[in-house]
Amino acid sequence: MITAQAADKSLDIQGKDFLTLADFSKNTILGLVQKARKMKNASLLGKDSKSLNGKILGMIFEKPSTRTRVSFEAGMIQLGGSALYLNSNDLQIGRGETVADTAKVLSQYVDAIMIRTFSHGMVEELALHADIPVINGLTDLYHPCQALADLLTIYEVKGRLEGLKLVYAGDGNNVAHSLMIAAAKVGMNLTIAAPPGYEPQEKVLALAKQFGKETGAEIEVVNSAIEAAAGADILYTDVWTSMGQEQENAERLEIFKSYQVNAQLAAAAKQDYTFLHCLPAHRGEEVAADIIDGSHSAVFQQAGNRLHAQKALLSELL
């Protein structure tokens, strides 16, 4: 249950890095969701607070982005601050300057760094050497900002998080990993259905199961999408080929074809199931067009919530 008090008190995460939800308590995560709801309401009434007046977010991108880039930049501006888009190819880091040196220098120019890259270890190293908060805007391992917006969306649509059954069909990737941690932390049951060899990493599963023990969330990984979907409150999927895996695309199309979220899979879910996808989506691959564009889909509300969840996060970290 998300209490009203949770939204008003400081979450005590000022100055912290946001690399994975595993580093945050259930109360902090629920507090961020609640704060995001309040800030969303205020924003829709044209009453954004200017709490980040004069603050600057540096945003390093080593992979493409639509939602993450634009929602972080727009969010900073709405709260009175600003953001710098830094393509890693245009930075000296792209020609061999060390991560540590980059961290120490940027710490003197900006108030926080958001980074999207391949290696999660590189982001940990950046955070270790930076004196300012570092936010993970997606690595090959985790996508915590997405999971935060997903929790906000599920709460809005279902009115609760605890005890729901979330089913993710597809690749055991960064988005799946962050969902596992998020669900386990808040007490939501999650079944990941992935083909053999494409399941989530064992270490992430072990971590999620450990968090799940504290909240009663059951986190499991199976190979059959249709069996997993039975009684689902939420069906979730992501691309079969993530950024950086493009050379595996043809092979993956073949391996994942029985994991498509389509009418057959949806028929196994609850009648009032909700469909989510972090986007970008490939209609006809991981999701059928009639599902993502159908009446159960909340994918654009979910994409919109990236803005609100991150504004709550930024205002707490800064």
By a kind-dependent CB cut-off of 5 to 8 A, residue 173 interacts, out of ligand CP, ligand NVA, none, with ligand NVA
The yes-or-no answer on residue 260 being catalytic is no
* Interaction between residue 278 and ligand CP (CB under 6 A): yes
Q: SS3 for 42?
A: helix
Only segment of 112-120, 198-206, 238-246, 254-262 that touches ligand NVA (CB under 6 A) = 238-246
C-alpha distance from residue 4 to each of 30, 37, 295, 311 (Å): 11, 11, 30, 18
Question: Do residues 117 and 258 make contact, with C-beta atoms less than 8 angstroms apart?
Answer: no
The yes-or-no answer on residue 278 being catalytic is yes
**Site pattern 115..144 for ligand CP (x: CB under 6 A):** -----------------------x------
Q: Which is nearer to ligand CP, 114 or 317 (CB)?
A: 114
Quote the CA–CA distance of 288 and 280 in Å, as a whole number. 14
Angle among Cα 171, 120, 79 to the nearest 5 degrees reads 95
Torsion of CA 128, 132, 137, 143, to 10 degrees: 60
Determine whether the annotation assigns residue 191 to a binding site.
Answer: no
Q: Taking the chain, what is the end-to-end CA distance rounded to the nearest angstrom?
A: 26
What does the block give as tokens for 237?
């999927």
- Nearest CA among 250, 205, 238, 183 for reference residue 67: 238
Question: Do residues 69 and 308 make contact, with C-beta atoms less than 8 angstroms apart?
Answer: no
Q: Which is nearer to ligand CP, 68 or 189 (CB)?
A: 68
Question: Residue 44 CB: number of other CB atoms within 10 A?
Answer: 10
* Interaction between residue 193 and ligand NVA (CB under 6 A): no
The yes-or-no answer on residue 264 being catalytic is no
Strand 189-193, strand 219-222: pairing: parallel
Sole binder of ligand CP in the list 279, 282, 301, 304 (CB under 6 A): 279
Sole binder of ligand CP in the list 67, 177, 185, 252 (CB under 6 A): 67
* Interaction between residue 243 and ligand NVA (CB under 6 A): yes
* Interaction between residue 146 and ligand CP (CB under 6 A): yes
* Interaction between residue 238 and ligand NVA (CB under 6 A): yes
**Site pattern 89..128 for ligand NVA (x: CB under 6 A):** ----------------------------------------
* Binding-site residue positions for L-ornithine: 174, 238, 242-243
* Binding-site residue positions: 65-68, 92, 116, 143-146, 174, 238, 242-243, 278-279, 306
Query: Footprint of ligand CP on this chain (CB under 6 A)?
Result: 65-68, 138, 146, 278-280
